[in-house]
Chains A and B, each alone.
Chain A
Amino acid sequence: KNQVEQSPQSLIILEGKNCTLQCNYTVSPFSNLRWYKQDTGRGPVSLTIMTFSENTKSNGRYTATLDADTKQSSLHITASQLSDSASYICVVSTLSGGYNKLIFGAGTRLAVHP
């Protein structure tokens, strides 16, 4: 069964600190892995997208890693800001019948406190 599991479920950190979010997946065939940021009551916004051959991708203070052998990914946030408070969703894509089927994790809810 295609599944994406994220940990922790929620996380509280102080402003300026770093944090790492985890994503484990069992999706086949694997197409790509994406990290999205979702503010409360809004649609998800893409942070990074990685294919099978990519190990690391950065977007400003966000750095995503992918280990396709162990089927694990992480999202590292450096020097957190209050605006980083949001849900972070790991999404693994698989191709099915010519369309891009997205398997979503439940998300990690991050709260950054001053």
Chain B
Amino acid sequence: SQTIHQWPATLVQPVGSPLSLECTVEGTSNPNLYWYRQAAGRGLQLLFYSVGIGQISSEVPQNLSASRPQDRQFILSSKKLLLSDSGFYLCAWSSFGGRTEAFFGQGTRLTVV
């Protein structure tokens, strides 16, 4: 069966520090991968999606970047965190072609102080 792992679960970082969140998927190959952010009391906002290794598309301009160094690994990064980067970050995957549902990781609660 397919599983998705996302870590860390919680993170408190000072303003201006770097960020690296990692997401890995098991039990499938060539998945579509997504990073979402959920601000308090708001819906999920798509940040990045990837349909293959090294292929990253950004949905909104921001202080973050994403990379996909391996087929089932998706990394969310920032060189210098801002207070506004605080939120709940979710990684998700769906089958190639994206015609089935998306499966989500457990999320990372990021607090920038």
Give every chain B residue within 8 A of A45 (Cβ-Cβ). Answer: 104
- Mask, B25-60, CB within 8 Å of A = 1, is 000000010101000011111100101000001000
Q: Looking at chain B's contact residues, is the secondary structure mostly helix, strand, loop, or mixed?
A: strand
Give every chain A residue within 8 A of B105 (Cβ-Cβ). Answer: 43
Interface size on B, residues (CB 8 A): 29
Query: What is the distance, in angstroms, from A69's C-beta to the closest C-beta of chain B?
Result: 23
Question: Given the interface contacts A101-B46, A106-B42, does A43 sit within 8 Å of B101 by beta carbon?
Answer: no
Give every chain B residue within 8 A of A102 (Cβ-Cβ). Answer: 34, 44, 46, 102
- Mask, A81-107, CB within 8 Å of B = 1, is 000000001000101011111101111
Q: Looking at chain A's contact residues, is the secondary structure mostly helix, strand, loop, or mixed?
A: strand
B36 to chain A: closest residue by CB = A104
Q: Interface extent on A, as a size class?
A: 20 to 34
Q: Choose from A41, A44, A100 the contact partner of B98 (Cβ within 8 Å).
A: A100
Question: Given the interface contacts A99-B32, A99-B49, A99-B51, does A105 sit within 8 Å of B43 by beta carbon?
Answer: yes
- Measuring CB to CB, which residues of chain A are less than 8 angstroms from any residue of chain B? 4, 31, 34, 36, 41-46, 49, 89, 93, 95, 97-102, 104-107
- What are 27 A-B pairs with beta-carbon distances under 8 A? A4-B43, A34-B101, A36-B104, A41-B107, A41-B109, A42-B107, A43-B90, A43-B104, A44-B90, A44-B104, A45-B104, A46-B101, A46-B103, A89-B44, A95-B99, A99-B32, A99-B94, A99-B97, A99-B98, A100-B99, A101-B98, A102-B44, A104-B36, A104-B44, A104-B45, A105-B43, A106-B43
